[in-house]
Every structure is written in structure tokens, then in C-alpha cells.
Chains A and B, each alone.
Chain A
């Protein structure tokens, strides 16, 4: 158990819909990162938050948005869903400092029908 909690574990929805993925970081971790992993692909960095503020942005589509709340949990919102958005979405967290490892949650598997 990494200490990072992601819900839900699975989501099945249709094209055009909107979903929200939730992540609770490890106790004491201020940074949250979101990644997308399509089938047999690598980890695509989407966005990072630190203590409620956006710190870095990767290849995140305009249809996607995220935020980190005062209690440090984070939500990733995906809207106008397309078939190609089907993927595993991972959240990771780490402590302050550039040389601290990330710890990943178990992911949310999103299936678009």
C-alpha cells in the first residue's frame, strides 16, 4: 500500500460525458501529480499541484482540468470524453524537495464506450 488513495477504481461511461477522478495523497505529502497511461504506453505527465497551487503542466488537453483542495486532495476533471480518453489515470504524491520519490496510487481505469 503506497498510502495514495484513488477513487473510483473503475469508471465506465459514454462519449461526450464528464467524469471526476479523485486522489488523496500520502499523509504529509504536499505535491500531487496526475498521469495518463494508455494501453501498453508510457506514463504521460498531465499536471502537478503543490499545496493548492498549479506548479507544472504537461500534455494536458483543454477538456481536462484539475485542482488541489485545502485538505490536499486533488480532483482531475475530464469532459467531452472521447474514445481515445480510455486509459489508466494515476495520481502520485511526494514530499517537498526535488529529490524525493513519487508514490503512486492504484489508478482509475476509465473506459469510454
Chain B
């Protein structure tokens, strides 16, 4: 079955800097890759997603890139703000269910 790895597990950046979180997946049949942001005690919220027929997608300060050959995808956040502090989860969908990475705790320091 699918296996998703995510790095780093924790990330601290200064406000205004960029943050990059990387995920790798194992199942070449996976074709859909969402990213979720989860604040403490709250539900995961979809922030951006990418499908396998696209290499890059951007939404304001957030972008996701996908390399199907290498089977990895990355989340890029530019001009980070304190409200970006949260846990970020990547996921991959190949079969019936989604497989989530273990999460990255992002702290944006003022």
C-alpha cells in the first residue's frame, strides 16, 4: 500500500522568510495530493492540492510542486506570518483511501 514520508517534523522560521515542507510517496498510481493545515485542537483544513497531471500550483503565498518521476511533492509558503504557525499534513491518494504524512509543526517567530 501507499506510504507517505514528510520532512522536516518541526520547522522554525523568522516572520517574512519562506518555509518548505517535503513529502515522498511510494505508490506510483497515486494521482492526487492535498495539503492540510491544522491549528491546535481544530480540524484539518485543506489549503492547496495538486493533481498528477500538473507540476505546480500556486495560491497567493502558497505553492505546491509535484515531481512524479521522483515521487515527491513539496509545499512552499512565502512571506510567512505568525498565523501560518500550525501543523501541516501532506497526503496522497491512489486507491480508495488517503494516506497522510506524519505532519510538520511550523513555528513562525516574530
Partner-binding segment picked from B19-27, B59-67, B69-77, B98-106:
B98-106
The number of chain A residues with a CB under 8 A from chain B is 22
Interface of A is mostly: loop
Range of interface residues on B (Cβ < 8 Å) = 20 to 34
List residues of chain B with CB within 8 A of the CB of A50: 96
With most chain B CB atoms within 10 A of its CB, the pick from A45, A90, A98, A106 is A98
A99 touches B51 (CB 8 A): yes
Tell me if A13 counts as interface (CB < 8 A to partner B): no
A90 touches B44 (CB 8 A): yes
Give the number of A-B contacts (CB < 8 Å): 52
B89 touches A33 (CB 8 A): no
A107 touches B43 (CB 8 A): yes
User: Which positions in B face A, CB cutoff 8 Å?
Assistant: 31-32, 34, 36, 41-46, 49, 51, 89, 93-103
User: Which positions in A face B, CB cutoff 8 Å?
Assistant: 2, 33, 42-43, 45, 48, 50, 55-56, 58, 88, 90, 98-107
A and B contact pairs by CB, cutoff 8 A, 20 listed: A33-B97, A33-B98, A42-B89, A43-B89, A45-B100, A48-B97, A55-B96, A55-B97, A56-B96, A58-B97, A88-B41, A90-B44, A98-B32, A98-B93, A98-B94, A101-B34, A102-B46, A102-B98, A105-B43, A106-B42
